[in-house]
A and B are shown apart, each in its own frame.
Chain A
């Protein structure tokens, strides 16, 4: 049997009121790629934080045995010292420093405290080559893309002589090509003897590269699947994650699509900061009552900007064009105006723009409509509690009570809180920007069901999503955006992944040929 590099035994970690990990077991063989999967809130990140010393020894119970010795890490430095490096979802790079400076941050190549720039730059080049980057190490981090930044993080880990590399959702922000590069690199590192633990929601990637998979659910180890011994299909993994088979990932609906609810004509928007940059260019689209319309497109296509500019000008300057809601022309000056007429926008970034993380579920739900729970500016706390409880039950927000801080909820439950806020504000047209980003399969399904319920009441939904299957599975129609324009429209039957991609690629190609005249 192969050598075991890491064994975590009976790890239990409690937060006030919640048992995040309950007797978790994890065994990693030397030189393998070990995937850790589970729904949001299953305890993956917590487990890795225990391993890397973010939660110091003593704040949890159980044993960590690494290379045959028990480890009691007090902090991240301790774990890095023995070759365990964790790369978090949010990259830990300083944008205004160069690649080389970032690579050796906290680990500087120096002599008596004076930095040896020759060694720094020289070694940087070698490290970058290892991860397949040809960039100049004196380029600043902010000037390279997210995909490359992720690779720089890995190079940084290599600079610390990593033996066990932990990656938390490494491909979440990457496109297809960048993801594939990263996966290839992991296989390359594996050849060189580096063991990796990868946390990911993208099951196809895991299926592709993992040697074994440990599945967590509700803070406990469910099972470990080993390549060659167990079934390694997506269905099998999902079954382990949710504890049941998901036959259909998208709930069906028989909705009646009615009249046009919102019509947008010649919508044109310039950047908030740079009033010369044309972000949205003469966009026309509509959404009908009882309809879910999708907007597909690559990152930076202008989808979020379009939705936010329609939401009372939350984005953009110099906005022109017509917005017609149920036959009435709108002139919206603020977000509050938009909400008054029944237009709502759910942000793609629930943590930084959606929730007040230090406040509780109750206050976060009612935040979008204080009028409805108050009289003469005085809040009826009775009513507020009832409303919050109602939504907590209706949307199945898993929490200790409505007084739990939203910062302590898992991603899926956080999203349900924000969604509750918008449903409670009772909009006619709801823009959902990446409503299921970073949340697990079960919660996704629940959110789809909520969307179906809303349209069955005659509401309209415009969904922006980067997950093509979701758009195809949920939408009655899909618009395709590229470079601030709508370049295509498909109905439910014609919309396929290939059609949409082809549409974008053709437009991108056209763009090049006319690039100068634009």
Chain B
């Protein structure tokens, strides 16, 4: 008889639970190469543009603009990440955003509806569009590329039908609030926007508490983790950045409301993807659909809801975009889908599915956004901006492929 105990000895010999200190930085870097490099690329881009724009980039008003300008792409990128996790794509989101913006303009401008019901109905329309596309994709199993390409044409066309080729404006202040508004200052201070600062500090505290908690978990299970000094460096670095950004924003009009919305979505979707069974099902679906199905995961249902979710977020982005523009135009949302997709890939998502994070997609989206903004300030022409963004996307994915081959 084979002695199973003997075999067991071998497996326990493999050691676990080491901590990674500053000395092992190289290892740490190599094992998380994509996430760290993209974060560092982001920081590098900020530094470079800060220099080349003579400090305009990080001026309070520009930072505020930057956030509002990119918010709708980032909102879409979150939904797109889930789609890409399933190994698919959604080409219709730009048109859907434009369509929903147009519909809400009709409701507000022509029908004089209130803000809340307009937004709710708009999101419901988004969900219905998602259900329509999700039905064809998940249950009829027509390739998502084709269904959403059709969706792109359909909803672009319908946008023009609704607007009759014209621009509808203006919206009510309530409606534009979400996109262009700022958190009021409860302290009534004239100089620095104190509420924003308080908000920043609370965010940092919450982050530290949750990270400490996570660390305790890792220790409990004897998992690999970074050493205490490194942990402190990391927390301080992120904490200081958040407070610094709060400070910049506090010097202008304070915290943009859309940033709160975005922060909420990031936290919510990070939670959904990382901590819930639904998230697990999405990753499993993208990693190996057959295996997921044979494990009793209702794959078609997962697939369907991912597209419903995508269209709801596209609708939300459409509302934000229309609010920021304070108008609904027939061309609104053009090419948004490409920016959202690019954000996910730059942020480390895999085109074949199963790999990617919400935070990664946000970092990817910020890289694109700051490139846009920085180049605009430097008055690089729009055609060059496009080309450069193209190169960045290709370089990011090429780097991903390369580093994967290295570690394989």
Contacts and interface: CB of A to CB of B under 8 A. Distances in A.
- Tell whether A and B belong to one assembly: yes
Interface of A: 16, 242, 244, 246-248, 251, 311, 314, 334-336, 338-340, 345, 347, 352-359, 363, 367-371, 374, 377-379, 381-382, 385, 389, 392-393, 396-401, 403, 421, 425, 442, 445-446, 449
Nearest to B288: A356
Interface string B209-228: 00000000100110110000
Contact of B288 (A357, A389, A449): A357
Q: Which of A335, A381, A425 has the most CB of B within 10 A?
A: A335
A397 to B, nearest CB: 7
Contact of B296 (A246, A353, A368, A396): A368
Nearest to A449: B4
A133 to B, nearest CB: 34
B381 interface: no
Nearest to A442: B2
Contacts of A442: 2, 7
Contacts of A311: 294
Given A359-B284, A378-B276, A353 B4 contact: no
Contacts of B297: 336, 367
B221 A339 contact: no
Given A359-B284, A403-B223, A353 B290 contact: yes
Nearest to B11: A398
A146 B25 CA distance: 50
A356 B296 contact: no
23 contacts: A16-B31, A335-B296, A353-B294, A354-B294, A356-B283, A356-B284, A356-B287, A356-B292, A358-B355, A363-B283, A367-B280, A367-B295, A367-B297, A368-B295, A379-B280, A381-B275, A382-B221, A392-B11, A396-B7, A396-B11, A401-B14, A403-B223, A445-B2
A246 B276 contact: no
Given A353-B290, A425-B296, 9 more contacts: A16-B407, A336-B296, A352-B290, A353-B291, A355-B291, A357-B288, A367-B284, A370-B281, A397-B11
B277 A359 contact: no
Interface string B1-38: 11010011011001010000000000000010000000
A363 B283 CA distance: 10
Contacts of A340: 296
B177 interface: no
A427 to B, nearest CB: 11
Interface in B336-355: 354-355
Contacts of A449: 4
A314 B294 contact: yes
Nearest to B276: A377
Nearest to B277: A370
Nearest to B220: A382
A358 B287 contact: yes
B221 A345 contact: no
Contacts of B288: 352-353, 355-357
B278 interface: yes
B195 to A, nearest CB: 31
Nearest to A346: B294
Contacts of A347: 291, 294
B291 A356 contact: yes
Interface residues of B, number: 37
Contacts of A368: 295-296
B276 A379 contact: yes
B2 A244 contact: yes
B293 interface: yes
B58 to A, nearest CB: 38
Nearest to B283: A359
A340 B14 CA distance: 37
A378 B16 CA distance: 27
B276 A359 contact: no
Contacts of B276: 374, 377-379
Contacts of A335: 293-296
B141 interface: no
B234 interface: no
Contacts of B294: 311, 314, 335, 345, 347, 353-354
Interface in B273-328: 275-278, 280-281, 283-284, 287-288, 290-298
Contacts of A314: 293-294
Contact of B1 (A247, A352, A378, A389): A247
Contacts of A334: 296, 298
A251 B2 CA distance: 9
Contacts of B14: 399-401
A371 B1 contact: no
A462 B161 CA distance: 61
A363 B296 contact: no
B357 to A, nearest CB: 14
Contacts of B224: 401, 403
A381 B296 CA distance: 20
A399 B11 contact: yes
Contacts of B290: 352-353
B220 to A, nearest CB: 8
A378 B275 contact: yes
B2 A242 contact: yes
Nearest to A218: B10
B284 to A, nearest CB: 6
B243 to A, nearest CB: 30
Contacts of A401: 14, 16, 223-224
A421 B295 contact: yes
A398 B287 contact: no
Contacts of A382: 217, 220-221
B10 A398 contact: yes
B386 to A, nearest CB: 33
A368 B281 CA distance: 10
B117 to A, nearest CB: 30
B1 A251 contact: yes
A340 B298 CA distance: 13
Given A335-B293, A359-B354, A370 B298 contact: no
Interface in B362-408: 407
Contacts of B11: 392-393, 396-399
Given A246-B2, A357-B287, A359-B287, A396 B8 contact: yes
Nearest to A244: B2
B307 to A, nearest CB: 19
Nearest to A388: B221
A181 B221 CA distance: 54
Q: Which of A251, A356, A445, A446 has the most CB of B within 10 A?
A: A356
A370 B8 contact: no
B295 A363 contact: no
A403 B225 CA distance: 13
Contacts of B283: 356, 359, 363
Contacts of A421: 295
A103 B297 CA distance: 43
A417 B14 CA distance: 18
A389 B2 CA distance: 22
B4 A396 contact: yes
Contacts of B221: 382, 385, 389
Q: Which of B276, B296, B297 has the most CB of A within 10 A?
A: B296
A246 B2 CA distance: 7
A339 B2 contact: no
B403 to A, nearest CB: 12
A462 to B, nearest CB: 16
B292 A367 contact: yes
Contacts of A338: 296
